[in-house]
Every structure is written in structure tokens, then in C-alpha cells.
Amino acid sequence: MRNLWAPWRMEYILGKREPYCIFCPEGDGLSDEERLILYRGDLTMVMMNKYPYNNGHLLVAPWRHVASIEDLTEEEMTDIMRMVRECVQILRKVMRPDGFNVGLNLGAAAGAGVESHLHFHVVPRWEGDTNFMTVFADVRSIPEHLRQTYAKLLPYFKKEKIHEAV
């Protein structure tokens, strides 16, 4: 028998959460690398999901702490959607997925893990990436460590290069 190790998931399983909003600019004094932030724009940010559904699972959020899509300004909404599009383009280039799930969970009943700060999910998908482990054991097989994926994607999210890379 072979073991599948995903030790970073234990924090999530045990319900441990950061004592600060992971999407707000301050981030409890942690570095962008520690927070897995790939991009800091004037209005929005992009970070990797610490508890991903798949390799390359990104989160796009406004810097402003808002819970509802109706509370976004037109400028924030435009910037978020522009970044969602750029995330798809970068992931398509770097990771070559067969498709994407892009979505927004508003409220705890809809599955929002951080319901007080709106954020979009950009999840690359590959043919056959759902297997028996997810169905029967509620376990996902993530073939690349988060830090490796972060290092692979970071050059494409450098603010001065973001428009050249896509």
C-alpha cells in the first residue's frame, strides 16, 4: 500500500483558521510569500488557495473588506474580472489545464469559507482529475506542493510583467 501525504490539509480539517482576514492588505505582518500572494494591484490581489481543490487553485479578491458583490464599486468589479481573466490566461500558459471552474461563493450557506470578504475562485481542471479518493474518502490528490506551484506562477504575476506574460 502507498501513502498519500497532504499535511497542510490537517489545519483545515481541524478547523484552525488564521486570526486575521487572509484577504486584507495587512495580513498580520506576514510576507506575501508566507501568505501565498502572487499579485498586489491597487484594488485587487491574487493569492493561492492554502487548501486547494486542485493544483493552481487561485483566489482573486478586492483589497477592500466587503462581503457582498453589491458592495463592490464598478472599478473594483472591473478590476477583479480583469484579474480573473489574467489568472485563467496565466494558468492556461503555465499549467496547461483542460478547463476551469471559476466562481464566487456568497455566504456560508453557499460554501464561502471566508464569508466576510468576497473572493473569486479560479480552479484549473484536467480530464480525469476527479477520482475515487475524492468520491469515497473526501481526499484530493494534489501532485505538486503549494510552494512549488507558487514559485512556478510568481514570475507571471509580477506587477510590471503581468500584461507582457499573458
- In contact, 124 and 54? CB cutoff 8 Å: yes
Our answer to whether residue 119 is catalytic in this structure is yes
Task: Quote the CA–CA distance of 50 and 38 in Å, as a whole number.
Answer: 13
Residue 116: its pLDDT value, please?
83
* Each residue's pLDDT expressed in tens, for the chain with a length of 166 residues: 555 566 666 665 566 666 667 888 787 788 899 899 999 999 999 999 988 888 899 999 999 999 999 999 999 999 999 999 999 999 999 999 999 999 998 888 887 777 788 999 999 999 877 655 554 555 666 777 888 888 999 999 885 555 554 4
Top-level class of domain 30-165:
alpha beta
Point out the catalytic residue in the list 57, 65, 117, 119. Answer: 119
Burial classification of residue 53, based on how many CB atoms lie within 10 Å of its CB (0-12 exposed, 13-18 middle, 19 or more buried): middle
Domain residue limits, the chain: 30-165
The DSSP secondary-structure symbol of 77 reads: H
- In contact, 77 and 68? CB cutoff 8 Å: no
Listed in sequence order, the residues at least 6 apart from 30 whose beta carbon sits closer than 8 Å to its beta carbon are none
